Structure 1
Amino acid sequence: MGAFLGRRDGYWCYVRRVPSEITELDGRGIIKLSTRIRIADDPRAIRARKVVARLNAETETYWRDLRSAETANVSERYRAACRRARALGFDYAPAAEVAERDLDEIASRLAAAVRAGQSDGVTRPAVLGAVPKPTFRVSTLLEAFEDVMRPSLASMSEDQRRKWRNPKRRAIANLLTVIGDKDLLEITRGDALDFRAWWADRVLVEEVQIATANKDIGHLNKMLRTLDQQHRLGLDPVFAQLRMEGEEARSRSAFEPDFVAARLLAPNALDGLNDEARAIIYLMAETGLRVSEATSLTSETIKLNHEVPHVQIRGIGRKLKTPQSERDIPLVGVALSAMQRHPSGFPRYLDNAASLSALVNKALETRDLRPTKNHTLYSLRHTFEDRLGAASIPEKIVAALMGHKYYRPKYGSGPSLTMKRDALEKIAFQVELV
């Protein structure tokens, strides 16, 4: 922060020139803000540097907000122009492109503009191509992409949206590290190749997984492609076909059923974990629920007084992974005992599956209950599927319990609760909770 540290009237101050790319939005020229710390009281500027760092962070946040607001305004004007042009039977095209169309179309557009009259501030620029396309920078890519994806995000819970954003945010942060904050139209194939080379070095030197690099490349490719289609930006597909070869598919890890019965479900094995976390482990062991499905249960979806006690997996306040994920799972064995102790669900972890997974995985590690690093809380779902297969449970019932698609013609309403309960009782762990 030494570059932004200045002196004024006996006080340390923050001094910074407004960058050229933001001068149209911030006309202050040179910013001078007092730290309110006297030079005499802080001659080495130790405290002042901390204040300057804070003022600089606030200023850069302000500039980002200005750019985002400007981009949003331009984007909305552009979308409005596209909608208006389509309503009049035209596609929206920039003025230079309109001028190259055939004379009949140009005449039709001019006629529409004349009919609109001078007072219509939307139609004339829409049909004549006078509204500039929005511009986006790498730093605003996520916000712009999220704006386009709003319809598909509407049904997600806040935790699901966080998980959706995080890998994209990481990919953008990595791209900024390599090429800086460019306008999207300025990104070249060379930039994309530099990004791929940067990842290749990390794979070799830091032993990062190739799959991690390919995820970054895939997210960036999709975001740029989606924005290009939405706003007709004319972007080149610079990240297309850049995936690195050699990606190894990680084999799923499942606990051995005997290990679950003898170790995970042993008395006192999970002492120290809170009651809700232990109950979710018991529930997943007998039902194969995904972590997010277990943590989303509430009194509304827990049916203990039914003839066949069960839980309902529904998209209430969150988006299910697949349409087949909506299902009813009977409660047997330790799952039934656990849910009888928690008839209203798990409020501590509601819409917070990541926190639960981190806690449980750490607890399993410290108790020597993870045979390998690939064994996690989620492994109980894989164990559940293996147990169903070992018991020769019909494929249709397995699919109904797992929430998987059943690849055969569907007849009737599927396996009943009773049929599913009978299947689960065949594999229930013969242990009692203490």
Structure 2
Amino acid sequence: MKMPPYVVLRGKKYGFRIRIPKAARHRYPNEAGTGFRTHIWEALNTSSDNEAFVLGAAKYVEWTAKFAEAHDDADNMDRRRADDIALTLTGRAFQSVGSIRQTPSVSEKIAHLDAIITAFKNVPGMNDTELRVIAGDIDTPALSWEALLERFMELKKHEFVHLPRRTYYKKANPFKAYIKNFRTTLPDAPADVLKLKPKHAYDYAAALEMCVAKGEMEPNTASKKVQGLKQIFKIVLPADHPDHQNPFTGTNIKNAAKCKPRDQFEEEDLLPVRKELAASRLDKQLVDMCIVMEQTGTSVQELTLMSENDIHLDVPIPYIRIADNEHRKQVKSGGARHRDIPLLPDAEAAMRRNPRGFTRYRRDGGNDSASYAMNKVIKRAAPGKTSAGYRHRFSYLMFNSKCQDTLKNAIMGHTTKNLGQSTHYGKGYTLESKLEAMKKALEPNIETENINQTELQHDMT
């Protein structure tokens, strides 16, 4: 993986290095007290390429924002930014002129003034924005939308840091879009998010529902926009502003419950899809991946990042392991998503043709490439369906086979709210129990839709 210039390998671990613009160097004196620093160096404390990329990107955003004083608008500056500038220049948090006047302690006022005078002596190159900040001549919102998003990403960093960079952006970008859509829809809403009221949230939901009624937006899309904002506030407010209520609490899209369920393969879809896969020029690894997904309920990403050590074929019950390995730190949120899945005969045959895993797609973005290629073929035989339909169908069949919920969860990596682990202890369900449940759910359907697997393999051997 090619690293950006600010991520530097130092020995066996990565570090972060960025040049300080000349206009900002007066804010970063050398520790010796003579002269100013020209670069920022910080350890990333990781030898992982993907982790270094994500951590480095976060550091780059943080430091370029600090260097961008020339672009600071003193009249639209948030409190966190003002505090950052004031602490750097004076060693004290930002105080407005009004708050300084209301300070009853004369000694406190003198200390504040002394800090300003010291800053003038030590930092002769301050710009107009910095001068207004240390003088308290700005009216800052307590929390801007930009600062809200930055803080949210900071608090959620532990969930994103293990992800490949492409997946990281797919996870992070929607939250930026949720905020942008809100501000576009309600341009007169307060710039200070701590001044948002439930009325603003309800007005936003009403505007989205109007779009749904006009056919301009799907109900589930509107619901995601509201729920995304609700999640941002749910994470940030308790951490930094516990006295403030989440304005989106209780706000929902009325028609969201009427959204159509996710598309799954109907039984009449499978035979045409299998024949289309067999007749197509689709990469052989992808055809095998479809067979495995159909009979295990796994997802594309789960399979593409399997390693050779996750595939166990020469054992009494052949199985694959979906878990952390050298290619991923965890699968989604970890926990129940990490699991062992026994292989039915067709899936076992597919994995024996790929004993090292699906190596062509074991890379950053490989799951996207695999999904795109598969879906082009699948949609020719089953319009509107995608490779995700395999997992949805598997779940449907398991449910209708009267499989116990906790056993179904153990196979699919699901969790059920309030169900917990009360029905089993220790290491959980055995491969034998899982295999029996899978046979009961899937084998009747496999038998009634029998297809010549030699044809499906289309010269794979």
* Bin for the TM-score computed over the shorter chain: 0.5 to 0.7
What is the 5 A alignment of 1:15-414? 136-179=143-186, 183-185=191-193, 188-189=196-197, 192=201, 194-232=203-241, 237-247=246-256, 248-257=258-267, 259-260=269-270, 262-266=271-275, 269=278, 271-315=280-324, 316-321=328-333, 323-346=335-358, 347-348=360-361, 350-352=363-365, 353-365=367-379, 367-370=380-383, 373=384, 375-389=385-399, 391=401, 393=403, 396-405=406-415, 408-414=422-428
In the other structure, the counterpart of 2:430 is 416
Whether the 8 Å CA contact 1:253–1:382 is kept in 2: the answer is yes
The aligned amino acid for 1:384 is F
The aligned amino acid for 1:368 is A
- Could you tell me how far 1:65 is from its partner in structure 2? 9.8
- Could you tell me how far 1:180 is from its partner in structure 2? 5.0
Q: What TM-score, normalized to structure 1?
A: 0.62
The aligned amino acid for 1:388 is M
Instruction: Measure, in 2, the Cα distance between the counterparts of 1:425 and 1:344.
Output: 26
* Deviation per residue, 1:262-307 (Å, 9 max, x gap): 2222375451322232222111001011333222212131223333
Q: What TM-score, normalized to structure 2?
A: 0.59
Q: CA RMSD in A?
A: 4.7
Whether the 8 Å CA contact 1:153–1:161 is kept in 2: the answer is yes
Do the aligned partners of residues 231 and 96 (structure 1) sit closer, same or farther apart at CA in structure 2, a change above 3 Å counting? farther
- Deviates most, 157-166 or 278-287: 157-166
- Deviates most, 272-281 or 155-164: 155-164
* Deviation per residue, 1:139-166 (Å, 9 max, x gap): 4543331012223333444344323213
* Deviation per residue, 1:311-332 (Å, 9 max, x gap): 1011332343452221111222
* Deviation per residue, 1:163-207 (Å, 9 max, x gap): 321321221221232345964347544654553344233223343
Do the aligned partners of residues 194 and 345 (structure 1) sit closer, same or farther apart at CA in structure 2, a change above 3 Å counting? same
Larger of the two Rg values belongs to structure: 1
- Deviates most, 398-407 or 305-314: 398-407
Whether the 8 Å CA contact 1:312–1:326 is kept in 2: the answer is yes
- Could you tell me how far 1:423 is from its partner in structure 2? 4.1
Do the aligned partners of residues 394 and 142 (structure 1) sit closer, same or farther apart at CA in structure 2, a change above 3 Å counting? closer
What SS does the aligned partner of 2:341 have? Answer: strand
- Could you tell me how far 1:341 is from its partner in structure 2? 2.1
Instruction: Measure, in 1, the Cα distance between the counterparts of 2:364 and 2:233.
Output: 30
What SS does the aligned partner of 1:297 have? Answer: coil
Instruction: Measure, in 1, the Cα distance between the counterparts of 2:318 and 2:193.
Output: 58
What SS does the aligned partner of 1:255 have? Answer: coil
Whether the 8 Å CA contact 1:298–1:344 is kept in 2: the answer is yes
Whether the 8 Å CA contact 1:301–1:313 is kept in 2: the answer is yes
In the other structure, the counterpart of 2:92 is none
What SS does the aligned partner of 1:246 have? Answer: helix
Instruction: Measure, in 1, the Cα distance between the counterparts of 2:194 and 2:218.
Output: 29
Whether the 8 Å CA contact 2:308–2:356 is kept in 1: the answer is yes
- Could you tell me how far 1:359 is from its partner in structure 2? 3.4
Whether the 8 Å CA contact 1:155–1:319 is kept in 2: the answer is no
Instruction: Measure, in 2, the Cα distance between the counterparts of 1:409 and 1:75.
Output: 52
Structure 2: tracts of 5 or more residues without a match: 1-22, 25-64, 89-94, 112-118, 120-135
Whether the 8 Å CA contact 1:175–1:195 is kept in 2: the answer is yes
Whether the 8 Å CA contact 2:322–2:340 is kept in 1: the answer is yes
In the other structure, the counterpart of 1:52 is none
